[in-house]
Amino acid sequence: MDQGRAARRTEVVAIGNQKGGVGKTTNTVHIAAALAERGRKCLIIDLDMNHGATRHFGIPSDAFLGAFEILTHEEKPLDVILSSEDRDDDLTLPENLDLIPSRRKLEKIDQALAAKNKFLVMQDVLLEPLEQLRGLYDYIFLDTAPNATTPTIAAYKAADWFILSAIPDPFAIAGLSDALTDIQDAQRSGNPNLRLLGVVLSGVDKRTTLANSLSDYVEKIFTPDGSSRSAKFDTVISRSTAIPQTQKLGKTLFQSHSTHKVTDQYRQLAREVEERLRAFRGEPMSKPIGEVLPTLPTQVKEALVANG
Ligand SMILES: Nc1ncnc2c1ncn2[C@@H]1O[C@H](COP(=O)(O)OP(=O)(O)OP(=O)(O)O)[C@@H](O)[C@H]1O
Ligand SMILES: [Mg+2]
């Protein structure tokens, strides 16, 4: 990796929602890939023991050191970064997109940290590794797990920005309230600078009325009182078989389906991400977005009741 360049202003972005299967990893990989295509230098840190982002790049499980070693400070982040510049047949990372991979061993992180130092504040373990990386990238994306494991909590504690992943599924929408509470808890308990950059709605099939009504609902509940701007990104990611296909290949859509509609949606989303960052940086922190309204749309309530 070229370390001799001028320092960059690094934005650390956590992508989360402690609900499983809501597109966190797919969004992390493709927002980063779209920004990398725009020439931005990006790093993804895979903080999930199920290593979805690592698998997305076709990297075999347990092949490389990564998140576990940087969180336990056994390795310096710069020594475990995988990049397109690496000459390894197993690696096909896109240009400008680096990865700190994860593996199953991450499930043992708490025991490993406690064995090192019983007084260690576990939620702070990502702060020092990130300090070593700031200035080298335009963006560092933190892909988090669907539960409150130490690496996930450490991501909420260390990030500058938060992108919330949501899908138009009644249960996922009903759970958005918990996702917002998690962000607010992180703001109250140690990371007052954490800001919600936006909500990405993905896996949307616009042909269904439920998806359209849930999309409108998400738009509405994420519009703070008195504001005309919703935290939901205007760009919505469609549901497409291209996504599981590219994941099976261990590639990004930018490598396997570069002219696909969904690839273009991620390009558009990346532009929105950069526009928001430019707008938000100079702005004082807006009023926190209120609790998600308990008044779920009728269709969501009906779907929840029908499913017990
Ligand atoms: N736009 C889309 N169209 C079709 N399938 C999608 C889309 N986005 C994600 N998926 C599929 O949905 C599943 C869950 O996506 P993903 O792994 O990104 O979610 P996640 O929130 O990271 O899950 P986990 O909480 O388990 O880490 C995957 O099988 C993925 O292929
Ligand atoms: Mg994931």
Q: What percent of the chain lies above the pLDDT cut of 90? A: 68
Model's pTM, two decimal places? Answer: 0.93
What atom in ligand 1 is closest to the CA of residue 19?
A: 25
Ligand 1 site, CB within 6 A: 20-26, 48, 52, 146, 165, 202-203, 237, 239-240, 243-244, 247
Under the banding of pLDDT at 50, 70 and 90, the label for residue 291 is very low
- The model's pLDDT over 168-224, given as tens digits with 9 standing for 90+, comes to 988 888 888 888 888 889 999 889 999 999 999 999 998 888 888 888 888 888 887
**How remote is the CA of residue 26 from the centroid of ligand 1, in Å?**
6
- The model's pLDDT over 17-35, given as tens digits with 9 standing for 90+, comes to 989 999 999 999 999 999 9
Asked if residue 1 belongs to a domain, the reply is no
pLDDT at 241 over 90: yes
**How remote is the CA of residue 23 from the centroid of ligand 2, in Å?**
7
Asked if residue 182 belongs to a domain, the reply is yes
Count of domains in the chain? 1
Asked if residue 285 belongs to a domain, the reply is yes
Asked if residue 156 belongs to a domain, the reply is yes
CA distance 215 to 212: 5
Structure confidence at residue 118 (pLDDT): 87
- pLDDT (average), residues 81-107: 89
Residue of minimum CA distance from atom 9 in ligand 1: 23
Q: What is the rounded end-to-end Cα distance, in angstroms, of the chain?
A: 52
Structure confidence at residue 3 (pLDDT): 52
pLDDT at 2 over 70: no
Structure confidence at residue 286 (pLDDT): 58
Asked if residue 4 belongs to a domain, the reply is no
CA distance 253 to 238: 13
> Can you give the CATH number for the domain in which 286 is found?
3.40.50.300
Asked if residue 259 belongs to a domain, the reply is yes
CA distance 178 to 175: 5
Q: Alpha helix (H) ranges present in 90-241?
A: 109-116, 127-133, 150-158, 170-174, 176-188, 209-221
Quick check: 202 and 236 in contact, CB under 8 A? yes
Domain with 166, as residue range(s), is: 11-306
**Lookup result for tokens 């290593």:** 51
Asked if residue 101 belongs to a domain, the reply is yes
Quick check: 151 and 145 in contact, CB under 8 A? yes
Asked if residue 6 belongs to a domain, the reply is no
